[in-house]
């Protein structure tokens, strides 16, 4: 009888230990399929962090960060928008709805930065300068040489430019 009681206590203790460790688990991994099948049966990654930005005849490649704002932005792609001029250093587009953000002051804006101002304003910077404002970073153009010239050459009379954003297929 004593052996049975000890066995039950041991089994109960192990059961509590196992269920306690499962209940405290906070880093669950959720696997999602991030590939899609192409017409030739091959698979390709659909979660590229390389963004193609086309302004007029010039195409730039940007590397996106990995955050909730970027995820929401990528869900809108591909998109072609008219970006308005602001301050002689940036082009902006206001989304009709808010994106999740985590703004901070970068202190300095760099040529080629792509950010969200507030919760719905996409900003592409074509000049570098110090800033007192806070932004949520999306990413940055890898080689921004020629960006200022591209936005100037493609601007209409009001300074607006048509910009196409799309994920680079890999």
Query: Domain holding 133: CATH number?
Result: 2.40.100.20
Residues 6 or more apart from 70 whose CB is under 8 A from it? 49, 64, 138, 139
Q: Which domain holds residue 107?
A: 48-167
- Quote the pLDDT of residue 48: 81
Please indicate, yes or no, if residue 108 is contained in any of the structural domains: yes
More confident residue, 42 or 160: 160
Q: Is the pTM of this model over 0.75?
A: no
Q: Does some domain include residue 154?
A: yes
Average of per-residue pLDDT across 46-65 = 91
Q: Do the domain assignments include residue 11?
A: no
pLDDT, average across residues 71-77:
97
pLDDT at 157: 86
Residue 110 lies in a domain: yes
| Overall domain count for the chain | 1
* 17-21, 46-50, 106-110, 120-124: least confident range: 17-21
Residue 170: partners with Cβ closer than 8 Å, 6 or more residues away: 44, 45, 48, 50
Residue 83 falls inside a structural domain: yes
Q: In the prediction, which pLDDT does 45 show? A: 42
In a domain, 161, yes or no: yes
Is 15 within the bounds of a domain? no
User: Does 42 score more than 70 pLDDT?
Assistant: no
Evaluate whether residue 9 is within a structural domain: no
Whether residue 28 is predicted with pLDDT greater than 60 in this model: the reply is no
């Amino acid at each position: 009888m004593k052996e049975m009681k000890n066995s039950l206590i041991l089994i109960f203790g192990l059961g509590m230990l196992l269920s306690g460790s499962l209940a405290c688990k906070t880093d669950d991994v959720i696997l999602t399929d991030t590939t899609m099948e192409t017409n030739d049966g091959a698979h390709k990654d659909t979660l590229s962090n390389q963004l193609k930005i086309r302004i007029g005849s010039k195409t730039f490649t940007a590397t996106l960060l990995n955050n909730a704002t970027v995820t929401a932005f990528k869900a809108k792609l591909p998109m072609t928008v008219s970006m308005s001029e602001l301050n002689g250093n940036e082009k902006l587009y206001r989304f009709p709805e808010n994106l999740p953000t985590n703004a901070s002051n970068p202190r300095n804006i760099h040529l080629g930065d792509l950010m969200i101002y507030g919760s719905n304003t996409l900003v592409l910077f074509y000049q570098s300068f110090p800033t007192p404002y806070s932004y949520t970073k999306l990413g940055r153009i890898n080689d921004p040489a020629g960006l200022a010239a591209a936005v100037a050459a493609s601007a209409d009379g009001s300074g607006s430019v048509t910009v196409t954003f799309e994920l680079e297929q890999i």
